[in-house]
Structure 1
């Protein structure tokens, strides 16, 4: 048996192991695998995290007939999630397939040298600044933009910031699982419940959230998602001092509509900075597919989104929440909001990237 280790930023992220009884068996295995068309997402984020862009993109490729593999070294085996959609802990399977679509959201040069691929797709989903702690990230990022067959970005700011390296970058914003979230009822109701779904990370404005909790103390604020780092536990504990703050923890992706059923309006209380200006929040599309009115802080990617109630300071955020509750029983308005999300589905995103894939095959 031979093992080849894959490293990123000095850390081993995976390995390829292969062994055969003789050369004839190896050749037979290689011939069998090399004609399969499949997309691979190498070890980057955990499968068990809240569903993010790579989860959704791979699922769409699986739905359209591709074999799709999400690699997470924390797993113990290969598991089939849905038809054509697998999670696995090993890169071994892919060594003999020359039809691989290698899908990256981080520049991993060693991986490109070890895994054969037909198409290298580099998907830029965050601003470079968020990776300042990774040595040589900027150089590797630029190298990957030039090397990749296809480069996409999730936000317009990311497009602006990377066009200097390459002109054919495709803008492919985030989206929603329309079939799942459109099941949420939009019947008239007002339970005075305000919701947030997503990671509680450093990009949230905790002072703003605390202010809203105190100013709107007769409303319940329901937060669903993991606390991004242990350092933020104190922030969340401080919010819990308000009796109207309800932290539900992490919930499975497919259970989220049942929680949204109990929520009247949704919020996106992000900080305003260079990083959030380059964010395309999946939650916005999911809120809209659920027929929810949404109040958000101001950042570039969503500033022109129809029906979105935007606030530029704490007082305005509270006022926008109050305005949204004045409209919460307007079923026709909520139907219009839902229809917007119908055009912002992951299925539609697949049909935007698919022609680019076919051009390269």
Structure 2
């Protein structure tokens, strides 16, 4: 089986996202995955996470003996300069964000990336449609979820507020959240308590304050299910922008795996989604109404979890494996 190298891009244990999930699942399918961690390490080391998954900290994966073909897996267009350094047999560009707005710096690197990539994966239909006009081999592989991780019962975290139904958000606390909408919805709904979990991205502090709001900071991936399972409703309150039109939110699948109804803004990917108990609006009054509708949503949790299971990361990795085989077999 080939070796997949993922160069320093996202810390392995920080806000577990698409790259960590796909690398883990591809390693379970038999690929040797060398994941180069990012951070400050006092001593170079290699951590064997499984027989086929290695975490390289402070050293290059090229220093480890491995089989070929060598696949270089890239997420950011700005990493096109790494291709020559790794001398791969194949280059995969896995596109999960529009190079617009907060990621506008990526746009000038995208043509070079598409020229050098052998294979392109897109996490959303919008990205797939655009990239297909520029590259001959683009495949739609949406985001997913570790269904089992988010469906297992956990203990109630001690820092969650009590006494009111919790409307919760888990993910990046970033400028692309619709803070104006949130401010109005939170003030209009004192019967709910709004909880936000995640790291501050391109922000220096949490933008809102209210008596019925709590920002709990970043939580480890292992603890997230214990929080989500205490939510009554999951939030996806993104602005509708050039960047978010290509966003396929991972939290959609994580909320569903936890059995939650979801209140969200009508991103293109969400408008196309068959996810049950998904309420979409960018109008504060309608959004508030949908929160009350979601609270009494009659759909059984098992139906929502079935949707999540259909979008498990394992299935997404199996689809990728089928496509990769056409290249190296």
- TM-score, normalisation: structure 2: 0.88
CA contact (8 A) 1:151 1:169 kept: yes
The partner residue of 1:215 within 152, 167, 188 is 188
Q: RMSD of the TM alignment (CA)?
A: 2.1
Aligned partner of residue 239 in structure 1, secondary structure:
coil
2:93–2:117 Cα contact (<8 Å) kept: yes
Q: What secondary structure sits across from 1:78 in the alignment?
A: strand
1:256 is matched with which residue?
224
- 1:221 is displaced (CA, Å) by 0.9
Relative distance call for 1:102 and 1:211 in structure 2 (3 A) is same
CA deviation after TM superposition for structure 1 residue 139, in Å: 4.6
Q: Any unmatched runs of 5+ in structure 2?
A: 155-162
Residue by residue over 1:329-348, the C-alpha shift from the partner in whole angstroms, topping out at 9 and shown as x without a partner, is x4x53211111111101000
Q: Which residue of 2 aligns with 1:301?
A: 269
The answer as to whether partners of 1:120 and 1:149 remain within 8 angstroms in 2 is yes
Is it true that 1:323 corresponds to 2:306 in the alignment? no
Quote the residue 1:172 is aligned against: 141
Change (3 A) 1:138 1:345: same
* Residue from 288, 301, 310 that aligns with 1:334: 301
Distance 1:101 1:131, change over 3 A: farther
Q: CA separation in 1, counterparts of 2:246 and 2:225?
A: 27
1:346 to 300, 313, 326: 313
CA contact (8 A) 1:95 1:115 kept: no
- Give deviations 1:34-93, integer Å, cap 9, x for gaps: xx7321111122334201110101110122222222212424222233442222132253
How many pairs are equivalent? 312
Q: CA deviation digits over 1:282-306, x for unaligned, max 9? A: 0000101111100100110110323
Q: How does 1:138-217 map to 2 (within 5 A)?
A: 138-184=107-153, 192-217=165-190
Whether the 8 Å CA contact 2:175–2:203 is kept in 1: the answer is no
Checking the alignment, whether the CA contact within 8 Å between 1:184 and 1:290 is kept in structure 2 is no
Choose from 17, 26, 30 the match for 1:52: 17
Question: TM-score scaled by structure 1?
Answer: 0.81
Q: Bigger radius of gyration, 1 or 2?
A: 1
| In the alignment, structure 1 residue 277 sits paired with structure 2 residue 245 | yes
Runs of at least 5 residues in structure 1 that lack an aligned partner in the other structure: 1-35
CA shift in 2, pair 1:96/1:118, >3 Å: farther
Instruction: Name the CA distance, whole Å, in 1 between partners of 2:10 and 2:280.
Output: 31
Distance 1:47 1:295, change over 3 A: same
